[in-house]
Structure formats: structure tokens, C-alpha cells
Amino acid sequence: MELHFEELLTRITDFMKTEAKTETVVGEPFELGAFKCVPVIKVGMGFGSGGGEGTEAKTRKGEGLGAGAGMGIEPIGFLVTKGDEISFLEAGKAHGLAAAFEKVPELIDKFWESRKKEEELV
């Protein structure tokens, strides 16, 4: 049995790179009226591996290889922009994404107020 330790490590790290993206957790950036919203995530990763080979007596030989990885991805909020203004809407730990979506009506109200003021000026 031939050990391909480097190939195994490459495959695991490639998988982790592919999965550790905002789009995997909460989706692509989106627009809500004049607001542009970009999801923000927190990623934690752990990795462990080991291998070995040995010989017992004259006829027995053994090899072994093992690897494992773990990953946690959590949405933490949204960057929200309108023109030159940038703000961060936090998704609280207790409520997850619900906290960020609770802010959506407030954003809509601000959008309509801004639009109303623009119309009054015209």
C-alpha cells in the first residue's frame, strides 16, 4: 500500500477552501432599493492527521494513514451601503440571521423617507 499523504492533505484543504465562503452560508450580496447588502461570516477550522508504518516479525508489515478536518461557519451580520454611507447590521448570537432580517423593515422605512424627501425637493 502506497501512502499518498500530500494528496490527501491537498484534497481536504481544497474542500475547506471551497466551502468556507459567505455564499455557502447566507447567499450572494443583494440590493434592497438604494441599499447594497453584503453578508459577513465567521469561519473556524481545525485539522489533524497522522500516519505510520511498521514491521512485525519477518513476514508482517503494516502501514496506516488518517486525517480529519472540521469547520464551523456562522453568519455574523451584513455590511450595508447606501451611497457613501456604510454600516454593519449584526446578527446577534441569540437570534442568528433573524436579528439581521429584523433590521430590514427599518432599512425600507429609511429608503422610503429618503425617497419622499427627494420628491418634495423636486
Block mean pLDDT (10 aa), the chain, length 122: 69 78 71 86 81 75 79 83 87 60 74 81 72
- Cα→Cα distances 94→30, 37, 40, 44, Å: 24, 21, 17, 19
Task: State the Cα–Cα distance between residues 98 and 100, nearest whole angstrom.
Answer: 5
pLDDT at 8: 76
What is the end-to-end Cα distance of the chain in Å, rounded? 79
Domain boundaries along the sequence of the chain:
5-121
Of 69, 103, 109, 71, which is closest to residue 87 (Cα–Cα)? 103
In this structure, what C-alpha cell is assigned to residue 12?
481536504
pLDDT value of residue 1: 47
pTM of the model: 0.46
